[in-house]
Amino acid sequence: MESISTTYLDEALANFSGYLAIDELYDGPFCVLSIVDNRKYNRLAFRVLDHKPTHRDVRTFLSEFKGQLDKRGLAVHGITTDGSPLYPKVLKRLWPGVPHQSCRFHILMEITKAVLRALAKLRKEMKAKIPKFKRGHPGTEQQALARRFKGRKQRVAELFKQRHLFVRRHLNRTQKKVLERLLRGQQQLRALRQIMDEVYGLFDRRRRLATALGQLAKLRQRVRRFKRLRRTLAKLNSPNLEKALLFLDDKLLGSTSNAVERSNRRFRKAQKSIYSVRTKGHVQQRLALDMQRELRGPKRQQTRDTLHQARSRHDSLH
């Protein structure tokens, strides 16, 4: 464990990119705070807690890591986290002026859920407007009306079945035809899909931050006009949405925290396959072992490639 803050960190920070991804992982009664290089994808530091993390825990952990960077004369150029409230104040205090990017994936996931909730609300309203007939076969005069209402019920059912078409980013030709059929004569449903398209457009790398913020302001103004849906779509007013667009003006700033999320997924998989009863010491040892293996990975691959080439040349002589 002592080598993590000395020998390991010296080697891991040798090619430090200056961009960090920070996240917390919950494993039973424990919480693991992690810092990962968001360009190199290697874990730089961790802290295992036996309680729910507080701002004080985060500040202490990040302050110690900042001390290690200062000792080596390294600077941070950008930091990516999820939407957790644990980090903004601490990061602003420790690294003032450094861009703090909110994970694009988490923001899009929240907005997608909000659009699906709005779609469910509209679908329920459409279903409530369909009159109910008495039990039994409808009379001659009501048969045409019954067929029309049956078609409306089928349309509501298809809206539920094809709800993914309202939030999916790229649609093929068949999906576009199905969506267009569902939107025919339904202005609010069409507006929902247009809102989702505009949200995806905000994260287009070809845009500049100022342009994206201007489009976001217009989108929020448009959503306010939907009296029945503006509360459901309140996620579009989240301040994290502006933070999720910072990567547009910095090509090296990671738009997601996938680097640290991937490390956490690998840790979970290792924990599940090895043992189920864990202590704080076991979790620390497991993380330290994972970090050492990850650091040695490129060297192992280089050794294998060298041996393979040497054997190939040796075989070719015979």
What DSSP string describes 141-181?
GGHHHHHHHHHHHHHHHHHHHTGGGGT-S---HHHHHHHHH
| Residue type (1 letter), 239 | P
Q: Are 25 and 267 in contact (CB under 8 A)?
A: yes
The separation between the first and the last C-alpha atoms of the chain, rounded to the nearest angstrom, is 49
Q: For residues 200 and 198, give the distance between their C-alpha atoms in angstroms, rounded to a whole number.
A: 5
Structure tokens given for 253:
């700033």
What is the bridge-based pairing of β-strands 30-37 and 78-81?
Answer: unpaired
pTM: 0.78
β-partners of residue 66 are: none
Helix (H) or strand (E) holding 305: helix 280-316
Return the ∠ at Cα 48 (arms to 42 and 52), rounded to 5°: 120
pLDDT, averaged in runs of 10, over the chain (318 residues): 66 89 88 91 89 93 93 94 91 94 92 91 87 68 72 87 92 94 89 92 92 94 83 86 93 90 79 65 73 69 74 59
pLDDT for residue 194? 92
Strands (E), the chain: 19-27, 30-37, 43-49, 78-81, 100-102
Q: For residues 236 and 112, give the distance between their C-alpha atoms in angstroms, rounded to a whole number.
A: 10
Structure tokens given for 77:
């150029």
Helix (H) or strand (E) holding 316: helix 280-316
